[in-house]
Structures are given as structure tokens and as C-alpha cells.
Amino acid sequence: MTANTLISNNIVPLRTSDTGREALSIMEEFGIGHLPIVNNTQLLGVISEEDIVQQGIDEAVGSYDLTMKHPYVKENDHIYEVMRLLGESYLTIIPVVDYEDNYQGMVVLEDLLQFFAKAGSFTEPGSVIVLEIAKRDYSLSEISRIIESENAAILSSFVTTSLDYSVVDVTIKINRQNIQNIIASFERFNYKIKGTFQESDYSDALKERYDSLMNYLNV
């Protein structure tokens, strides 16, 4: 899955002659806090609500001094790269350009979240185990071997790092709702289990976080 497959067809970029007031109206309509400014096919930068408020809502956006001039992804960048840049820059949209840097469109944060929410690893029934592991001991192949030895499979996994970078939390979704045997196997191999979530608990928590994020974006 690449950036160009998630380009929004609903939102058009700003022209340099558009005013801050017009930009704010579009942002409010679509529940976003940023918009790209494009001159023909040239991406000039990304404007935020803060830029508009600070520099005057009746001024043409082409006259603004932008705080974010070059946040973008290439059309064939993976969606993980899209997610990374959205998170790093605290953006609600990110422009997409081709390999000649021509503007192609934008990916909206909400659309990206919807994509992941509908992905098979989220919708397929299962359970979640969170392991706390010393970074030097982390091995996904060993974790997978333990799970597969109990006739189960990993649907998805991701790793988060502690503040001192010496310990990682490994979150694994497994295609089984009864995971007592898997927990026992991890304990037998001296893994520290930080938490477990049955499907209903996990789905409720995910839905609550997603709803909170959507409410925040629509403020």
C-alpha cells in the first residue's frame, strides 16, 4: 500500500490567491488543521491554522511566511512513511508529489486511520498480548515460533521503545481468543507479560481511542 492509493479526492489545495479566511472555511468543513498551497503543479508548502491566525485571515496565503515549507511524501512511499511524517510533524494532511516533485494530491490523517481500522489485523477476531523484553533479547522469529507451537498465528505486531531504549514493549495480535496456553508458553520461556486483552476489551479500547481522536480532529 503506497501513498498514491490513499489520495483524497474531496479536498482541493489552496492557490496562492486564496485568503486565510477561505482556507479556514475549508479546514472547518473537512475537520483538518492544515492545507497545501500549490502553484499550478508546484507544491509551495503547507499552511496551518496557526499560520493564518498569526498573519491575518484576509491576506492571500501566497504572502504568508510558512512554518512548514517542505513536508510531503512521494507517491510510491509506503503508508508507514506517510504515518511517520504525519506523526513527526503533527499534521492532519500530508501532500503527495511524484518523482519530479509535481503535486499529486494529499493524504488525510482520518483516511489513513480508517484504512488501518478496516485492515484485516484489526477486524479479524483474536486477542492481544503485550510483552516487555530487553532490547538485546528481542527476536520476532522466536516469539512467532512460540505462538505457532500452540497452533496460532500472529495477525499483527509492533514495537515501542522505553525512554532509556533498553527495553521494548512488543504488542502482538493473535488469531485466537483463548490464549491461556500461549501465555503459559511465554512464561515457560521467561517472557514478561505486561498485559493481555481479549477481543472485546481490545476492540472497546481501540474504538474509544479512535472516537477520541476523531472528536479532537473535529474540534
* Domain identity same for 9 and 97: yes
* Domain identity same for 61 and 104: yes
pLDDT at 48 exceeding the cut of 90: yes
Last residue of a domain, one of 96, 116, 136: 116
Number of domains within the chain: 2
* Domain identity same for 31 and 70: yes
pLDDT at 110 exceeding the cut of 60: yes
Question: Of 93-102, 155-164, 184-193, which range is least confident?
Answer: 155-164
Query: Is 149 in a helix, a strand, or coil?
Result: coil
| Confidence grade of residue 46 (pLDDT, cut at 50, 70, 90) | very high
- Would you list the DSSP string of the chain? -BGGGG--SS-PPBPTTSBHHHHHHHHHHHT-SEEEEEETTEEEEEEEHHHHHHH-TTSBGGGS--SBS---EETTSBHHHHHHHHHHHT-SEEEEE-TT-BEEEEEEHHHHHHHHHTSHHHHS--EEEEEEEEGGG--HHHHHHHHHTTT--EEEEEEEE-TTSSEEEEEEEES-S--HHHHHHHHHTT-EEEEEE-HHHHHHHHHHHHHHHHHHHT-
> Average pLDDT for residues 132-153, to the nearest whole number?
94
* Domain identity same for 22 and 107: yes
pLDDT at 51 exceeding the cut of 70: yes
The confidence score (pLDDT) of residue 117 equals 77
Whether 219 maps to a domain, the answer reads no
Taken in order 153, 157, 161, 165, is the CA torsion positive or negative? positive
Whether 213 maps to a domain, the answer reads no
Whether 129 maps to a domain, the answer reads yes
Structure-block grid coordinates of residue 112: 489513513
> Average pLDDT for residues 3-24, to the nearest whole number?
94
pLDDT at 125 exceeding the cut of 60: yes
Structure-block grid coordinates of residue 41: 503543479
Last residue of a domain, one of 116, 141, 176: 116
Whether 218 maps to a domain, the answer reads no
* Domain identity same for 56 and 134: no
The confidence score (pLDDT) of residue 32 equals 96
Q: Which CATH number belongs to the domain containing residue 100 in this structure?
A: 3.10.580.10
pLDDT at 199 exceeding the cut of 70: no
* Domain identity same for 108 and 133: no
| Confidence grade of residue 160 (pLDDT, cut at 50, 70, 90) | confident
* Domain identity same for 108 and 153: no
Higher pLDDT, 84 or 215: 84
Whether 50 maps to a domain, the answer reads yes
* Domain identity same for 131 and 183: yes
How many helices (H) does the chain have, and how many strands (E)? 8, 9
* Domain identity same for 106 and 7: yes
The pTM assigned to this predicted structure is 0.71
* Domain identity same for 111 and 156: no
Last residue of a domain, one of 116, 134, 150: 116
pLDDT at 134 exceeding the cut of 90: yes
pLDDT at 26 exceeding the cut of 60: yes
The confidence score (pLDDT) of residue 180 equals 93
Whether 160 maps to a domain, the answer reads yes
Q: Which CATH number belongs to the domain containing residue 179 in this structure?
A: 3.30.2130.10
Whether 216 maps to a domain, the answer reads no
Instruction: Give the domain extent around 97.
Output: 3-116
* Domain identity same for 36 and 50: yes
* Domain identity same for 67 and 145: no
Whether 214 maps to a domain, the answer reads no
Higher pLDDT, 70 or 185: 185
Average pLDDT, the chain: 88
pLDDT at 214 exceeding the cut of 70: no
pLDDT at 120 exceeding the cut of 80: no
| Confidence grade of residue 185 (pLDDT, cut at 50, 70, 90) | very high
pLDDT digits (tens, 9 = 90+) for 165-175: 889 999 999 99
The confidence score (pLDDT) of residue 200 equals 55
